[in-house]
Structure 1
């Protein structure tokens, strides 16, 4: 009989408390959902950034050797392919999982094509089986092995040194090559004296090809196989460089034709960016070092070395990852604390409504264990299924790889919510009918204004403040390399809690002062509203801490996000030096006029940048920057010292050259007199620490007074600038010149902001700010809804005394205003101070190209957003007051209260 009665009592109790139970279940579901999806999304962003960092990269085992050595160790083309399996087996296991099949190639040095050419033509002969499989022939046929080509025919074979090759359509169209065109390469390596046995090497074009897919990553490291590269070498000599593909028989002739011929043998392992994640990237650097040692220690082949650019990419990613983990941990920890506060608030509201029931049970002789059944069972009934459902829904959304921290966070929140009733029971009923239990029966109030904190509470609050201070000291001591350390995550929560304790200490005095002020006022609404706010207990002030943390998270996100954007803007200025920059080895004298005539250009300033100048004595090499100083001040205000009288020296140049007048020159540049007059720390486009000198453009004379760079003010189109650059190049300079460059500051800035890791950080800031605001509003709504019944009873008496409906709405806003304003103000100030408090941990230099980010001022648009949230909270109070308006049924409400 006890079972059905007990079940009936439980069901009746659950029905009576269905409103707080549903609210607690909903909040638990949302919190569990976010605890699974947000960390998974961040982890997926880390993985995408790792893949982007290594995209297009490779690991190459290379050797530069002569043909005699290559022919002795790897006489056949198949031997090169077989050797690739050995190098693949030597790869460390983790590195092997992220690289693709090996790609083998053998190529000569650049060789000059003999002929009556005005400008040298250099060609590299390459044996690359993978390239021949990725091209389509539009003329002729693929290169074939001549009959009888092989070891039995000796070094020369039946056709001497002639090799069939294929060239790209761009190369053939540039120089008029067709199938059957001979290439005389008997001159040997370009720029080097002919080697013994190099004479007689000839090639013949067998076919002309185009790539099947020009966007194939295979061509990233083989651009010369598709296009013609033009460079300025020596004293302004333009040379044209391309690559011709040879067949397998061509490999035999390269390896055995001329013993002294220099060859480059390469086994390339392309990196699969899709297989690289955060965990993989962290171990790739160590794997690369181990692989270098393994290749270097192989004694069964000629010396080889590992060549890759992955090291720099991985270091850059590691720096961005450490910085991102640090600032994201600071943000997500605050968000987790907000969620925990809201859940505790919901559980506390439920416990408050169960208080009279538990007090009655205790008065009738119930034990603490019997009290724990309804106190802990009802929250468990709401929390456990909701937590499971939220976690399952988060996994189904598949926002990224599941994180162990998500399960820990959900479990900790559930335990926290279920432990709160047990702690409350022991505190209120452990020593009999005292404290909260007696208050629940007798109706004794525990107003926040008149309540005196116990010694235990004072000790806990002091301990919390001390822990927050110690956390800040330890955090600043660890510096930028701390990464996602648990201490980093705890500091904002500790600071928020400590600030909340201080605000709660000041809050009663604020209410008392407001009460005395409003008592003298003409209206009744303000006085009654402050009086009702003063009668809230400690539980009613818990939303203050939640709102404070929400405002702190929003302020921190807005501050750091704005600082990052400002730092990237300054970094883009430092890279380009103006709104846009046009550069080449040399421009004609009309280049500035052409750029000024473009739509959107407001001003243009000429400059000449010459590298590797030397003084009359000493080994130092200096970069000379000749620029119109006054014009550049108009184009980029504040980038140069005001009113320079002469040359400006960088710190490195001043240390090497001194401060006396001197002369700089080079074999290709006339002498220029430099009279130092000041210092300049940096100049756009010049690496930090490089010795450089800035002089007025008018100091150049003769052939030296020709611009190589034009700095632009305005917003011209990139295509228009490229057209002006092409029109300003000296006659005969063709495409592919690496010294040509068009940089638009807006494009550089967009490139920085589109970086994957920057997107992860900015998206996390945005989501944390929005979720923090949503949780803050949810806390306000929860308090208003759960307390609506008791508030309705109080307002019913005031309505009888003449309180109008409009005054009731105003009263709802006044009641909640002290909590909102105190929490939002204190939290916002804490959020603005957090970047400075955390110090070197918030290191954003990896996202700005190494430029320091020191201006941690909040985005001006963030303050109106905060005010909008406060107004929304006030509107929520009015809406709840309207929904639970009891004016139409005063008699029923008053009878309930009497």
Structure 2
């Protein structure tokens, strides 16, 4: 019988695909696995994209906070000229001070700023002022020490928009004002009117008694609408008067105030000795400033102060124009804080980023292990590595790329006011790692066709020479990174090798532990073999051969635990530093004091404070700053010393309770000579005075002192140099401060009591001082990042542990089923799996805690926490021991959680395997 040729489809016939598409088939086969992988990529991409955006956001807010929080005299940019000279005509001199001429140059000044430096319209101003204050000769004005008030006359723009008229009206020029005009109008603020007794209709005569005088009629009183803004606070006498002192000996005190005249009345100032000068004052707008603008902003300020920008202003306004600002100093302070905090944050970023990469790679390894038989079959039937890798890449890319894009979108929505470029790059890196994890692992595993799945455990693993060389290379890099960080610290924000030192230390520890791990377990398995029962021996033997304890799972756990320990120690160190600085600033839980801690307290102050709710104890102290020590013939300058006088018993109890300069009470009690005052001194004072007895001349009286004890600190003063004596031994006793201890002190009630006592008392609470150290957004943002890093590290540690146990779950289930056919009970099966999982968990926990402690010990000399802890309060007391120290809770708690979680997962796995039964696991021909 002849075979008929197969009919071929016609040219118009539609060909059918013999098989379904690979990607769609795989996704339909295991949708749960694809969904879990997508969630992992989404969370990782979200964290990776959110980190640079969070850093940008808190740095931008920190820059704006630094500029807006600085005094207006520092942050504003002022362009000024010396005023019209004597060489020109009188009409030209007057015209240069008129409002039209001064306002005409305003656009020139704004154009000269350029770049990111922009003017804030509501707080910027221009006008004319007297550069030399003029004395007010009227006898009815207050004169504290017979010195007449010194008046600044200012014709500043925008007075109507920045003030509210409470009485009278605003000043007017009243026709054409010239240098010969002898009377003009002005207004004063409510603070000036109240202090100097000026009313509407008053006439203030300014000028020297023997020179030209100018009568200024006050037409109204105004209230500043934003007294703390740059318009009023650049020159503080504009909003309220202040006290000044002459340069004579002894100095005399006088009032300083301002009279606000109309802009067109400025030419009248030429008839005085006030040396009027035009000015253009620019308050910087911070709404669009970012941390990336700081270099350009610094260059622009340098150009305006002494560069091409200043030359341009001289050409357009006046050849003697000058630019003054301290905004570059504000930017320098911000950059110093930023450069100190950024490397510390980079350590956490490298740690959590490395954990995330390892976990994603572990996920790819788990998928590759579960599909080992499938890929081996494809390879044995002629599948090429490129073809298999391409199909796996497409399979993972369909899930990973949309998940990474969604994570990026969530990060953009969650964190605003930041750049998009770094976030996009971070999310793209996560997507690339996620897409390549499974194909790369599969291609490396199946470079040659595999006959069958043989044993894959540590007993048969033999490290290759390449692996040994790679491990040694990593060891050299880790040692070099740690040495570099310890030598030069974290001052270089771009030193990524130093920031990655904890990661390299954890990597080396993981590789070493993987090599050494089986040895002690095999030693322990030998005596266990002689015991009754097989559970103990089997668990130790299997734990010593298990492939689950590989480098990647252990590395992920070590990195997560080390990151958590490092971050927790950083936060603990910052909290301790702020608590100690707050204690040094207040001296107790609360402090009630007079002006400068030197003014005497009103009578009954101690009794009134002691009766407030929550007060446990009140210690009265007398403080005298700038105490002069005897020179004793030395040419060196004596240190600035604070004298502290208190009751020995109460003060010693306070120092002991606070743990600050504790000393025995007898150190202040009288000794053998009743004429000698025993004292506790700081090391500097003790070294200056030396041994023996010394005569001290103080405001509280003269006395002879003898040093009985030396302490580094004392609660009453924050200064390092002090002399503490018994208050009863002083001639003139006048307590100037109360140190209060107690729980839940009511600051409102304490301030109300202080106000009733009078005397201009100041109340400072330790809790409020502690909260003031976190005012900077840079500090708060860095702390939030560290908190998030600890939480993310804990989450990735759980994922790493779960992935490690899931990878070996089928093999464990098969073992349990086989042993149950040999008589193993369900209880023994649970014990076997639990004991088998315990050694790897203990290894990871102990290794993670050890790596965390070692990382902190190695990096502590190079990590500066001062900026992170106290940068928001530059005037805070100096804390000597702001250093990175290991926090026991941050090291022990995560390690304990890993052990408990491993035991819980093993128990759940044993219970689930017992419910499924043994029949479906025991299949003929299964090589597991």
The TM-score with structure 1 as length reference comes to: 0.84
Q: Is the 8 A contact 1:583 1:710 kept in 2?
A: no
Gaps of 5+ in 1: 189-193, 734-739
Aligned counterparts of 2:654 and 2:300: Cα–Cα separation in 1: 48
Matched, 1:575 2:585: yes
Equivalent residue of 1:288, what SS? helix
Partners of 2:797 and 2:614 in 1: how far apart?
47
The residue that corresponds to 1:156 in the other structure is: 180
Aligned to 1:894, what secondary structure does the other structure show?
Answer: coil
Match of 1:315, SS state, is: helix
- Find the counterpart in structure 2 of residue 93 from structure 1: 115
> Is 1:257 matched with 2:271?
yes
- 1:895 corresponds to: 923
Cα 1:640–1:418 change in 2 (3 A) is: closer
After superposing the two structures, state which structure 1 stretch, 366-375 or 541-550, moved more.
366-375
Aligned to 2:361: 344
Check conservation: 1:102, 1:269, Cα contact below 8 A.
Answer: yes
Task: Measure how far apart 1:362 and its partner are.
Answer: 3.2
CA distance 1:578–1:143, shift in 2 (3 Å): same
Aligned to 2:9: none
**Offset of residue 53 of structure 1:** 1.1
| Aligned match for 1:605, one of 593, 606, 620 | 620
Partner of 2:517: 507
**Alpha-carbon distance change, 239 to 653 in structure 1, aligned in 2, over 3 angstroms:** farther
Q: Alpha carbons of 1:853 and 1:520: their partners in 2 closer, same or farther (altered >3 Å)?
A: farther
Mean CA deviation greater in 5-14 or 809-818: 5-14
Q: How does 1:213-362 map to 2 (within 5 A)?
A: 213=226, 218-221=231-234, 224-227=237-240, 229=242, 241-253=256-268, 255-258=269-272, 260-262=273-275, 266-294=279-307, 301=318, 305-362=322-379
State the distance in 2 between where 1:803 and 1:550 align: 37
- Check conservation: 1:56, 1:217, Cα contact below 8 A: no
Find the counterpart in structure 1 of residue 788 from structure 2. Answer: 767
In 2, distance between residues paired with 1:844 and 1:235? 45
User: Residue 773 of structure 2: SS of its match in structure 1?
Assistant: helix
Question: Residue 634 of structure 1 corresponds to which residue in structure 2?
Answer: 653
- What is the Cα deviation at residue 770 of structure 1? 0.7
Q: Name the SS for the 1:753 alignment partner.
A: coil
Q: 1:828 maps to what in 2?
A: 849
**Alignment partner, residue 74 of structure 1:** 96
Question: In the alignment, which of 138, 142, 148 is matched to residue 114 of structure 1?
Answer: 138
Q: CA deviation at 1:414?
A: 4.1
Match of 1:191 in 2: none
State the alpha-carbon separation in 2 of the partners of residues 473 and 830 from structure 1.
Answer: 16
Displacement, 1:866? 4.6
Distance 1:67 1:598 in 2: 63
Over residues 746-800 of structure 1, what are the superposed CA-to-partner deviations in whole Å (9 max), with x where a residue is unaligned? Answer: 2111111343122112111111111111111122233444544443333323343
Q: Kindly indicate whether the alpha-carbon contact (under 8 Å) linking 2:747 and 2:765 is maintained by their aligned counterparts in 1.
A: yes
Deviation at 1:45, TM superposition (A): 1.2
Residue 734 (structure 2) aligns with: 706
Aligned: 1:854 with 2:880: no
Cα distance in 2 for residues equivalent to 1:346 and 1:9? 21
Q: Quote the offset at 1:821 in angstroms.
A: 1.9
Query: Structure 2 residue aligned with 1:466, among 476, 482, 489?
Result: 476
TM-score when normalising by structure 2: 0.82
- Among residues 782, 785, 791, which one is paired with 2:812 in the alignment? 791
- The aligned counterpart of 2:835 is 814
| Residue deviations 1:636-689 (CA, integer Å, cap 9, x gap) | 4454474376567767778888878776779xx587457573766677898979
Q: Which residue of 2 aligns with 1:197?
A: 211
Per the TM alignment, residue 361 of structure 1 is displaced from its structure 2 partner at its CA by 3.2
CA contact (8 A) 1:36 1:402 kept: no
Q: 1:10 & 1:565 partners in 2: Cα distance?
A: 52
- Give the SS at the match of 2:97: coil
C-alpha contact (below 8 Å) 1:614/1:621 kept by paired residues: yes
Deviations 1:156-184 (A, max 9, x none): 32xx23x322223344455654321333x
C-alpha distance in structure 2 between counterparts of 1:615 and 1:94, whole Å: 55
| More displaced 10-residue stretch of structure 1: 528-537 or 480-489 | 528-537
Aligned CA distance change for structure 1 residues 12 and 168 (closer, same or farther; 3 Å): closer
Moved more, 607-616 or 679-688: 679-688
- Going from structure 1 to structure 2, the CA distance change for 1:640 and 1:511 (only over 3 Å counts) comes to closer
Secondary structure of the equivalent of 2:266?
helix
Provide the C-alpha distance between the structure 1 equivalents of 2:100 and 2:736, rounded to a whole number of angstroms. 50
**2:59 aligned counterpart, secondary structure:** helix
CA distance in 1, matches of 2:275, 2:655: 50
Tell me how far apart the structure 2 counterparts of residues 693 and 263 of structure 1 sit (CA, whole Å). Answer: 51
Match for residue 141 of structure 1 among 159, 163, 169: 169
Match of 2:10 in 1: none
How far did 1:341 drift? 0.8
Q: Which runs of 5+ in 2 are unaligned?
A: 1-13, 87-91, 669-676
* Alpha-carbon distance between aligned partners in 2 of 1:315 and 1:90, rounded to the nearest angstrom: 22
| TM superposition shift of 1:334 | 1.0
Cα distance in 1 for residues equivalent to 2:333 and 2:549? 48
Give the equivalent residue in structure 2 for 1:394.
411
Aligned partners of 1:558 and 1:859 also within 8 Å: no
Distance 1:481 1:11 in 2: 52
- Verify the 8 A CA contact 1:559 1:832 in the aligned structure 2: no
Please state whether the residue corresponding to 2:919 is helix, strand or coil.
helix
Deviations 1:237-264 (A, max 9, x none): 87655433221244232x2231x22557
Comparing 528-537 with 418-427, which one deviates more in the overlay? 418-427
Matching residue of 1:756: 777
Secondary structure of the structure 2 residue equivalent to 1:252? helix
Q: 1:869 to 1:142 in 2, by over 3 A?
A: farther
**What's the secondary structure of 1:164's corresponding residue?**
strand
Structure 1 residue 96 displacement after superposition: 4.0
- Contact 1:36-1:407 at 8 Å conserved across structures: yes
User: Please, which moves more after superposition, 521-530 or 274-283?
Assistant: 521-530
